[in-house]
Amino acid sequence: MSNLYRFGISLEKDLIRDFDKHIEANNYRNRSEAIRDLIREELVKKQWLCDNEVAGAITMIYDHHKRELVNNLMDIQHDFQSLVISSQHVHLDHHHCLEILAVKGKACDVTDLSNRMKAQKGVMHVTLSMSSTGKELR
Ligand code: NI
């Protein structure tokens, strides 16, 4: 027996027209797939509150010539060692480095780690990609 549950949704015509444009622009095969992703997106957002266990990625661009920056970033990563699953360093050009950290842990701790990195002088851009450990998603 299938574990799919079917239900009807009533929407304003303008809203469904805009939603269908979104579906087409994002190459969804049907409305169900698009709605599924929206629901998952909301559920993952909720996971990123307080003490929930989450996973994600921190991406940083920085100038490695800035004094002490590389050491400071390394110190911070060691302070949060239990959160950092893996890291990748790419030398973008003579000045700039791209570093990607795969992280897993409590949402507030991962956010704290990301903010600490962002606050370092010489760090030009940081993004925190908030995903899920997958346990609460189907
Ligand atoms: Ni580098």
Q: Which long-range contacts (CB under 8 A, 24 or more apart) does 74-83 make?
A: 76/113, 76/116, 76/117, 76/120, 77/101, 80/109, 80/112, 80/113, 80/116, 83/109, 83/110, 83/113
Of the options 3.30.70.1150, 3.90.1150.10, 3.40.640.10, 3.40.50.300, the CATH number for the domain spanning 52-136: 3.30.70.1150
Work out the pLDDT band at 135, boundaries 50, 70, 90: confident
Q: For residue 91, report the distance from its CA to the centre of ligand 1, in Å.
A: 4
- The pLDDT tens digits of the residues spanning 28-43 come to 999 999 999 999 998 8
Enumerate the domain spans of the chain: 13-47, 52-136
Mapped onto helix, strand or coil, the DSSP state of residue 83 is coil
| Residue 75 Cα to ligand 1 middle (Å) | 16
Q: How far is the CA of 4 from the centre of ligand 1 (A)?
A: 48
pTM: 0.81
- Residue 99 CA, ligand 1 centroid: distance in Å: 8
Q: DSSP class of residue 132? A: -
pLDDT score of 2:
82
Q: What's the gap in Å between 89 CA and the centre of ligand 1? A: 6
Question: Distance from the CA of 60 to the center of ligand 1, in angstroms?
Answer: 11
